[in-house]
């Protein structure tokens, strides 16, 4: 038997079963939602740059694209 196969057999002999990792899509979606909430919370805690900035972002989409 090949030395590599012997090593694999020896290392995997007494392994206990493990649970599967969560879906990558679910984890990424959860991370995106959590980070969005953090950004929103920080933005509201420091207040807008101008009093009408949030209203302008909602009513005038071109203003949003100019900010990017």
pLDDT digits (tens, 9 = 90+) for 2-30: 999 999 989 988 888 889 888 999 999 99
> CB within 8 A of 56, min separation 6: which ones?
63
* pTM of structure: 0.47
CB 64 within 8 A of CB 57: yes
Q: Maximum distance among all alpha carbons in the chain? A: 75
CB 63 within 8 A of CB 56: yes
CB burial readout 14-43, b (16+ within 10 A) else e: eeeeeeeeeeeeeeeeeeeeeeeeeeeeee
């Amino acid at each position: 038997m090949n030395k590599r196969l012997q090593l694999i057999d020896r290392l995997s002999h007494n392994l206990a079963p493990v649970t599967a990792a969560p879906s990558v899509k679910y984890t990424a979606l959860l991370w995106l939602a959590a980070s969005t909430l953090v950004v929103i919370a920080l933005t509201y805690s420091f207040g807008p740059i101008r009093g009408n900035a949030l209203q302008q972002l909602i009513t005038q989409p071109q203003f949003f694209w100019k900010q990017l």
